[in-house]
Chain A
Amino acid sequence: DAKTTQPNSMESNEEEPVHLPCNHSTISGTDYIHWYRQLPSQGPEYVIHGLTSNVNNRMASLAIAEDRKSSTLILHRATLRDAAVYYCILSRDPSNQFYFGTGTSLTVIP
């Protein structure tokens, strides 16, 4: 099975950048790397995804190691609304099923 490993928790000061790491040493060549976040009483919500190259969108950036065995989600300026559990996920063909990690609980300090 595909597996991702994340720190259980991290803290960040408001308006500071946050780097959330993920290890996925068992990644296969066609597995995509996804990041989702989850607020209490809600389902996981899409943040960003990529395959090999670094990716940017309005929410975050995704830095993928050259060997693809690790990645980092970057929130450029943390806000209080970014406090959530962040999941690093691999998706695998043919069904595109998601393999979730245990998630990192991000606390943003005002």
Chain B
Amino acid sequence: EAGVTQFPSHSVIEKGQTVTLRCDPISGHDNLYWYRRVMGKEIKFLLHFVKESKQDESGMPNNRFLAERTGGTYSTLKVQPAELEDSGVYFCASSQVIPSNEQFFGPGTRLTVL
């Protein structure tokens, strides 16, 4: 069974540009989470989807971040315009129906904003 995949593995962009990160969860997992670790900080929750619906966006830092999950399959996280402080590693995780508790993480996308 394929795990959670993320694309790209690495992205380097300039301040003010737009970047879109993609996450493909494990097939059949309704729950999809985005997290990120910025320099020197803990991994922090961004948001949670159940199928195509956003259940909890409380961790999204500001309106420059937009997450979508059309059709309840893969998800994208767009940063527009990117700022220097957005640099870090963005993780996606998926899980089966709550209360599954176990989240399966992808390898992450390392974003560098110059």
**Chain A residues near B (Cβ < 8 Å):** 32, 34, 36, 41-46, 49, 87, 91, 94-103
Q: Report how far A79 CA is from B105 CA in the complex, Å.
A: 23
B43 is contacted by which of A41, A46, A49, A100 (Cβ under 8 Å)?
A100
Q: Assess whether A34 is in contact with B101, with CB atoms less than 8 Å apart.
A: yes
Residues of B within 8 A of A96 (CB): 31, 48, 95, 98-101, 103
Query: Which residue of chain A has the shortest Cβ distance to B110 in the bound complex?
Result: A41
Can you list 12 contacts pairing A with B, beta carbon distance less than 8 Å? A43-B91, A43-B93, A87-B43, A95-B55, A96-B98, A96-B99, A97-B56, A98-B35, A98-B45, A98-B103, A100-B44, A102-B42
Cα A29 to Cα B105 in complex, Å, equals 26
A-B CB contacts (within 8 Å), total count: 57
Q: B: which residues have CB within 8 A of A? A: 4, 31, 33, 35, 42-45, 48, 55-56, 58-59, 91, 93, 95, 98-108
* Least CB distance, B110 to chain A, in whole angstroms: 9
When distances are taken between beta carbons in the complex, the residues of chain B under 8 Å from A94 are 55-56
Prevailing SS type, chain A contact patch: strand
Q: How far is the CA of A101 from the CA of B100 in the complex (A)?
A: 21
Residue in B closest to A38 when the chains form the complex, CB atoms: B105
Q: Are A95 and B56 in contact (CB under 8 A)?
A: yes
Residues of A within 8 Å of B105, CB to CB, are 36, 43-45
CA distance A46 to B44 in the complex (A): 17
Q: Which 10 A-B pairs have the closest CB atoms?
A: A43-B105, A95-B56, A100-B43, A95-B48, A97-B45, A100-B42, A44-B105, A43-B107, A46-B102, A43-B106
A49 near B91 with CB under 8 A, answer no
Please give, as numbers and ranges, the residues of chain A lying within 8 Å of B91 by CB-CB distance. Answer: 43-44
Which among B98, B101, B106, B107 is the interface contact of A49 at CB below 8 angstroms? Answer: B101
